[in-house]
Amino acid sequence: GENVEQHPSTLSVQEGDSAVIKCTYSDSASNYFPWYKQELGKRPQLIIDIRSNVGEKKDQRIAVTLNKTAKHFSLHITETQPEDSAVYFCAASKDNQGGKLIFGQGTELSVKP
């Protein structure tokens, strides 16, 4: 089945710097790749997603890139702020309607003021 690897497991940056989190997936049939932000004890919140027919997507300070050939995708956060501190999860799915998700291990991002 699908396997998603996420790196790094922890990431600490200074406020204003950029943060990059990378994921690789194993199943070439996967075609939907969302990113979720989860604060302690809370539900995961969808922050951005990308489908396999697109190589890059941007929403304000957040961008995601997808390399289907290499089977990896990355989350880029620019101008980080302390409120960006949370655990970020990537996921992959063969359901491009956004259903069944296989998650990466998570990255704990800490943005220091």
CB of residue 16 vs another protein: minimum separation in angstroms?
Answer: 27
Beta partners for 49?
Answer: 34
> Sign of torsion, CA 94 97 103 106?
positive
Three-state secondary-structure class, residue 83: helix
Phi first, then psi, for residue 83 (nearest 5°) are: -70, -5
CB of residue 90 vs another protein: minimum separation in angstroms?
Answer: 10
Nearer to another protein, 72 or 103 (CB): 103
CB of residue 49 vs another protein: minimum separation in angstroms?
Answer: 6
Nearer to another protein, 40 or 113 (CB): 40
Three-state secondary-structure class, residue 81: coil
Three-state secondary-structure class, residue 106: coil
CB of residue 50 vs another protein: minimum separation in angstroms?
Answer: 11
Nearer to another protein, 19 or 44 (CB): 44
Residues forming the site for another protein (CB under 8 A): 1, 34, 36, 41-46, 49, 89, 95-106
Nearer to another protein, 42 or 61 (CB): 42
Strand pairing class (62-67; 56-59): antiparallel
